[in-house]
């Protein structure tokens, strides 16, 4: 697409990431363009697999169906918990990504939403240890996607762990890392259930300029089994606006910025 057209298409994607669906007329008014121009952009976006055109409107392309796991309800059920909060968190996280960044995404339902919210970004290198996130990002024409490789953590999991994943991360450096967690505590830091996953996430963090934790408010103040990092290593926590104000103050006393969305 020419530069002006590309900018307009990115504006359209941003609007659809916020709303999910829209009419052509509303999009044209929002981007200050003709309906004919918007329709041409939507045709191109649909060919890239980013949107689905409907009668008189458009909707954001849905999440991928992972055929090998379609009889395992665990991941879809986790996706539905705090779904609206995770969507808002993901949109805020995506706004922190700049064109040209090299970022890493940990496995998890919230980071999967972050991946889905990066559709309008260009020239981004995304590294992940999550098989499903790699699949989600495979259709992005302007992104370079790297999977760490490794061993699938347990049947039905998308998370890759082990020496292969660990060694791959040792050779990489990131502008930003987005990490989900089982618990984030103002004294005990970021924790997860599995020790092998904690090792991979700790290595991601060791190679980044900025660590951004993404978690709904039910995870804040909680402590899980295996520590990933100290509170002082977290630059920003993006969470929903149901978090207790006193908990936010405790994090801020540790020089951790908490963004409530």
Q: What six digits make up the tokens of 29?
A: 């008014």
| CATH for the stretch 3-60 | 1.10.10.10
Instruction: Determine which of 72-81, 89-98, 209-218 has the lowest per-residue pLDDT on average.
Output: 72-81
CA dist list (Å): 155 to 77, 150, 159, 198: 16, 14, 10, 18
**Mean pLDDT of the region 33-62:** 84
pLDDT tens-digit map of 209-218: 999 999 999 9
The pTM for the full model equals 0.81
Q: Return the pLDDT at 54.
A: 86
Looking at residue 64, the DSSP 8-state letter turns out to be: P
Q: Where along the chain do its domains lie?
A: 3-60, 67-260
Q: 77 Cβ partners below 8 Å, 6+ apart?
A: none
Q: Return the pLDDT at 71.
A: 47
What's the distance, CA 95 to chain centroid?
Answer: 11
Q: Return the pLDDT at 123.
A: 87
| CATH for the stretch 67-260 | 3.40.50.1360
């Amino acid at each position: 697409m020419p530069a002006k057209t590309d900018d307009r298409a990115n504006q359209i994607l941003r609007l659809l990431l916020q709303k999910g669906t829209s009419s052509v007329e509303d999009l044209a008014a929002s981007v200050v363009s003709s309906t004919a121009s918007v329709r041409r952009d939507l045709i191109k976006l649909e060919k890239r697999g980013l949107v689905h055109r409907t009668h008189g409107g458009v909707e954001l392309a849905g999440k991928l169906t992972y055929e090998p796991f379609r009889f395992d309800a665990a991941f879809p059920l986790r996706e539905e918990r705090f779904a609206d909060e995770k969507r808002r968190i993901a949109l805020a996280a995506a706004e922190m990504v700049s064109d040209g960044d090299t970022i890493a995404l940990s496995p998890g339902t919230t980071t999967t939403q972050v991946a889905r919210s990066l559709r309008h970004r260009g020239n981004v290198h995304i590294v992940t240890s999550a098989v499903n996130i790699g699949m989600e990002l495979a259709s992005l024409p302007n992104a370079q996607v790297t999977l760490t490789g490794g061993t699938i953590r347990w049947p039905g999991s998308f998370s890759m762990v082990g020496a292969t994943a660990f060694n791959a991360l040792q050779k990489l450096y990131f502008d930003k890392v987005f990490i989900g967690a089982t618990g984030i505590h103002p004294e005990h830091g970021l924790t997860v259930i599995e020790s092998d996953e904690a090792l991979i996430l700790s290595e991601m963090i060791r190679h980044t300029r900025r660590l951004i934790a993404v978690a709904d408010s039910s995870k804040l103040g909680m402590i899980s089994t295996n520590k990933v990092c100290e509170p002082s290593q977290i630059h920003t926590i993006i969470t929903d606006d149901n978090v207790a104000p006193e908990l936010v103050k405790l994090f801020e006393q540790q020089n951790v910025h908490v963004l409530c969305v």
